Amino acid sequence: MPAKGSAEWKGDVPTGSGTFTAGDTIRGEYSYKSRFEDGPGANPEQLIAAAHASCFSMALSNILAEAGAPPDSVHTDATVTLRIVDGTPTITKIALVTVGRVPGIDEATFQTHALAAKAGCPVSRALAGVPEITLESSLAN
């Protein structure tokens, strides 16, 4: 099933603004300030972070279930870092931090499955050109 999103930008970059949609229900606004100055609104990197966290959590949950340890929950935060590289804004790093509530599994096994999810989730694979993607994984107490 194809996934759809759209965006429209009006005006020049420093003073203009944009709107986006993702699917049927997600809508937002973005601007230069929301992207480069921590101003109000969303930005594309937040959407990438949400997509990566969502995909990773789902992939890890599936791997755990297939291994006989279905999780109660998998929570993932993703932080996307945008820096200027050679004069061009560039995504240089994505940091994934995941915590699983998985009965009957040890920390080492969880981390092995988390690494497999990082390597195999479709969004991770699509973002393979990002120079650094880190993963911190742990089980909830």
Q: Which residues of the chain have pLDDT under 70?
A: none
What's the rounded Cα separation, in Å, for the pair 95 and 106?
23
Per-residue pLDDT tens over the stretch 56-93: 999 999 999 999 999 999 999 999 999 999 999 999 99
Global pTM value: 0.93
pLDDT given at position 51: 96
Q: What's the DSSP call for residue 131?
A: S
Q: What residue segments make up the domains of the chain, in order of their start?
A: 5-36, 44-139
The CATH number of 44-139, from 3.10.110.10, 3.30.300.20, 3.40.50.2300, 3.40.50.150, is 3.30.300.20
